[in-house]
Amino acid sequence: MQKSINGNMLRKMMLAGASLLEENKNYVDSLNVFPVPDGDTGTNMSLTMRSVANEINECTDNSIESLAEAFAKGALKGARGNSGVILSQILRGMSVSLREKPLNEIGPKQFAAALTKGAETAYKAVTKPKEGTILTVVRMMAECASRLAKKKIDMDDMLKQVVDQGEETLKQTPEMLPVLKKAGVVDSGGRGLVIVFTGFYKCLINDETLKINYEEFDKVATTSSNGFESNEAIINLENLGDIQFAYCTEFMVIQMKKKTTEADIDKLREKLMEIGDCVICVGDLSLVKVHVHTNQPNLALGYALELGELTKLKIENMLEQNRALKAKRAKMAENFKPYGIVSVCAGDGLEALFKDCGVDYCIKGGQTMNPSANDIAKAIENVPAKDIYVLPNNKNIILAAEQSKSLISNKAIHVIPTASIPEGISACIAFNSEATPEENQAAMLESMKCVKSSSVTYAVRTTELDGFKLKEGDIIGLTEKAILAKGSDIPETVEKVIDKQINEDIVNITLFYGDGVKEEDANSLCEKLQQKYENCEVSVINGGQPVYYYLISMQ
């Protein structure tokens, strides 16, 4: 029985939660409500937890305070998609609670308080909280923990009952959200959260099983690839200080000497901490990985040679890197301009179009590959401007864009909540370089409201939704809120979608065709639509976007 959690166990639990979610992310992806090839909740949450794991692994201190700070930082940097951002806020709230006063161990009362703070923080992060989602699941789990904390209970028993409460709440989510009931699934974000906490519990009871068969919700999982693997940190070029330790030193110790013991590895870590900082010294008698910032790399290597052989050596001069960054800062300062625009899009054609409209930096992303808050912040840093306008162009990226503000301190960031590519383009066109930031934000918000956005793609599973009986592979047309049409071929479905949305106020129809559509087919469809809608100007542009055959803009 585990009466409490110490720092070492907290570290293991976070890593276990990340591992279990990684193993089951495709299952979570398959719970996407819309049967379209962008069900990436599991992938987004898993990448968020991977960033947590990275920060935890880099934390050399086993105190609860340091680890709590590390997992909150990792979650913030890696948050992707709405569910990933909400997960990051849950962990952030838990971190704040755990750091309010020094703790040597986390007992039931401290855990319940942390989970309650996590739920509260997550609710506050969402403008219009919706019940039946991950928010409901975490709130009910927190309430369960608070009730249990008033009793005499061990941590393992408490965590089991909290996970059971999560499972029970998940079963109720289809009754809270009709759209889930129609699709025959539970909330995907909630499922991801319960998997993470199941990982916590399994670690606490020393159960190393990673694969779980959720038979009652068994679906054919879809494979998603995010494409954002970089964990490069944000560097604020305005705050480059002097380097205390000059050399970033990394190596591995292998082929241990017969006399080497586990205690010697601990002693090596202690010696490294005496000559530098940012120390990582992890492993066992088969291999030890070392990272240290020091002015005496020769001593670090010498200490390690007492244990065994060295391999994979890398020593970098951080003074030289610091000088290069300061030179970059000076150069950027010379070219600093009043404003800049950052846009998210996927497809060479769309990127070229946004840049023609005045966008300074395009982040490759969108459906199936939501950039994280850290990705967006890095893009913002790459634009030498005081005021930066960010166009997410996808409802699942808006929260991450908002969260990127907390990673940047030297620029004014204005997130225009564009939920589609057409809205983003319309917002760009409305931008006036001579207007004030407030005037531009108002104009861009007003402009995006005038656009009707829709798209045509294919169903990735058989389901019944919005009055349509869909089979895997069906061509479907949809908006951000509902499926509008299905058809036997792409042009027919495009026409049905336009028919459902067009009115006498519409004067322009633009089709952005994707990488799966031939140019001659797009031009042929454009000519047909122009003949049908004589009072509208119909145009076609090569967007090159994946997943969607056509993105449709009407205004």
pLDDT tens for each residue of 235-290: 333 333 456 788 888 888 999 999 999 899 989 988 998 998 867 676 678 888 78
**Residue 177: predicted pLDDT:** 82
Give the DSSP H or E segment for 301. Answer: helix 297-305
Average pLDDT of the chain to the nearest whole number: 86
Mapping DSSP to helix (H, G, I), strand (E, B) and coil, where does residue 316 land?
strand
**Residue 550: predicted pLDDT:** 96
- Indicate the CATH number for domain 338-449: 3.40.50.510
d(CA 439, CA 446): 11
**Residue 333: predicted pLDDT:** 64
Q: Is 315 exposed, middle or buried (0-12, 13-18, 19+ CB in 10 A)?
A: middle
End-to-end Cα separation, the chain, in angstroms: 64
Q: Which CATH class is domain 5-217?
A: mainly alpha
Mapping DSSP onto H, E and C, the string for 214-269 reads: CHHHCCCCCCCCCCCCCCCCCCCCCCCCCCCCCEEEEEEEECCCCCCCHHHHHHHH
d(CA 364, CA 183): 30
pLDDT beyond 50 at 219: no
Neighbours of 314 (CB within 10 A): 9
d(CA 145, CA 520): 61
Give long-range contacts, CB 8 A cutoff, 24+ apart: 109-113: 109/149, 111/5, 111/145, 111/149, 111/155, 111/158, 111/159, 112/142, 112/145, 112/146, 112/148, 112/149, 112/158, 113/149
- How far is CA 95 from each of CA 92, 115, 163, 196, 354, rounded to the nearest angstrom? 5, 9, 19, 16, 39
- Mean pLDDT confidence for 131-137: 92
Give the DSSP H or E segment for 512. Answer: strand 508-513
pLDDT tier at 229, thresholds 50, 70, 90: very low
pLDDT tier at 87, thresholds 50, 70, 90: very high
For 493, the token pair is 């479905």
Give the DSSP H or E segment for 494. Answer: helix 490-501
The pTM score is 0.63
**Residue 38: predicted pLDDT:** 53
Mapping DSSP to helix (H, G, I), strand (E, B) and coil, where does residue 454 land?
strand
Least confident of 115-124, 145-154, 314-323, 524-533: 314-323
pLDDT tier at 127, thresholds 50, 70, 90: low
pLDDT tier at 105, thresholds 50, 70, 90: very high
- Nearest residue to 549 via CA among 420, 422, 457: 457
Is the CB of residue 387 less than 8 Å from the CB of residue 412? yes
**Residue 222: predicted pLDDT:** 28
Q: Can you name the CATH fold of 452-554?
A: Hypothetical Protein Tm841; Chain: A;domain 3 (3.30.1180)
d(CA 356, CA 156): 58
pLDDT beyond 70 at 335: no
Is the CB of residue 22 less than 8 Å from the CB of residue 49? yes
d(CA 500, CA 502): 6
**Residue 353: predicted pLDDT:** 95
Neighbouring-strand partners of residue 452: 554
81-90, 175-184, 250-259 — most confident range: 250-259
What is the residue extent of each domain of the chain? 5-217, 247-322, 338-449, 452-554
**Residue 39: predicted pLDDT:** 55
pLDDT beyond 90 at 23: no
Neighbouring-strand partners of residue 550: 456, 513
Length of the chain: 555
Neighbours of 310 (CB within 10 A): 15
- Indicate the CATH number for domain 247-322: 3.30.70
For 318, the token pair is 């951080």
Report the percentage of the chain scoring pLDDT > 90: 57
Residues 494-542: tens digit of each pLDDT: 999 999 999 989 999 999 999 989 999 999 999 999 999 999 999 999 9
**Residue 397: predicted pLDDT:** 93
403, 172, 177, 79: CA torsion to nearest 10: 10
How large is the C-alpha radius of gyration of the chain? 26
